[in-house]
Amino acid sequence: MSSLVLLDEISPGIGLLTLNRPDKLNALSRDMLVQLQARLDEVETNSEIKVLILTGAGGKAFAAGADIAGYKGRREREFMDFQFAGRRFNDRLEAFPKPTIAAINGYALGGGFEIALCCDLLVVSTSARLGLPEGLLGLSPGGGGTQRLLRSVGRHCAADLLLTAWRMKGERAYEVGLASALCDPDDLLSVAKGKAEAMLKVAPLALTEMKRLIRLGEDASLPAALSFEQEVLFRLYCSDDGQEGIDAFLEKRQPQFKGK
């Protein structure tokens, strides 16, 4: 099987997942989704990888969406199976226990943008163009784009992107708070790596729990989410890492977190 998705450990603790179909702007095929799931299995079980960066090969695109050529002539069942596979991957990525960063150079459209929206942080370059242009094909997003974009940027910004099929520039994505960093295309990976390195200093259990809190808080009532927040804190306080963090601060040394 050719490698449509590459996985490298680019520095201690940091994995890099690269969508690798640059001649088709990394458009997401069925085989690519299979390989993406397999790569996530590897990252999940590899205890050396603590933070995952996702990017696209070739510099022109993160991913320009689902493989439109693969849509031609599909039976309804096949088409839906592809959509379900995309949704399974996106749901898993969003709930992934380790933090994820989308590093976006060039186009992140349709399914590519939907993958980025499942990451915890987006880092964009000035060449980034983000959008959900499915309406131009007579279709609509099916991998969570409408709902995750709405929750990320709010109703009117989401409507603007969806209803006008506008491609948002990296600068604007940064202005509206969708992206947490904006940089020159050549600096993209080093800026994403900087964010990952900051995460490596945070206790891994705390990272996982705070990710869950953010996800839960998007849909829960405030009282329920606040109760869950305190449950999480009590659990972390009782963990070895919680005690280690407190000790290390008081002893004026760096904590040694073990993920327990």
Q: Which residues are marked as active site?
A: 114, 134
59: left (phi over 0), alpha (psi -120 to 50) or beta: left
In SS3 terms, the chain reads as CCCCEEEEEEECCEEEEEECCHHHCCCECHHHHHHHHHHHHHHHHCCCCCEEEEEECCCCEEECCECHHHHCCCCHHHHHHHHHHHHHHHHHHHCCCCCEEEEECCEEECHHHHHHHHCCEEEEECCCEEECHHHHHCCCCCCCHHHHHHHHHCHHHHHHHHHHCCCEEHHHHHHCCCCCEEECHHHHHHHHHHHHHHHHCCCHHHHHHHHHHHHHHHHCCHHHHHHHHHHHHHHHHCCHHHHHHHHHHHCCCCCCCCCC
**Which C-beta is closer to ligand COA: that of 68 or that of 236?**
68
Of 66 and 101, the one with the shorter C-beta distance to ligand COA is 66
Between 7 and 27, name the residue whose CB sits nearer to ligand COA. Answer: 27
Instruction: Give min distance, CB of 107 to ligand COA, in A.
Output: 4
Cβ 22 to ligand COA, closest distance in Å?
Answer: 9
For the bound state, the minimum distance from the C-beta of residue 129 to ligand COA, rounded and expressed in Å, comes to 8
Closer to ligand COA by CB, 133 or 245: give it: 133
CB 51 within 8 A of CB 14: yes
Binding site for ligand COA (CB under 6 A): 24-25, 27, 64-69, 107, 109-110, 133-134, 137
Nearer to ligand COA, 36 or 205 (CB): 36
Strand order in the sheet with 121-125: 5-11, 14-19, 51-56, 100-104, 121-125, 181-183
We find the least distance from the C-beta atom of residue 165 to ligand COA, in angstroms, to be: 9
Burial degree of 255 (CB within 10 A; 0-12, 13-18, 19+):
middle
Shortest approach of ligand COA to residue 179 CB, angstroms? 19
Q: Which of residues 125 and 239 has its CB atom nearest to ligand COA in the complex? A: 125
Residue 183 CB, nearest approach to ligand COA (Å): 21
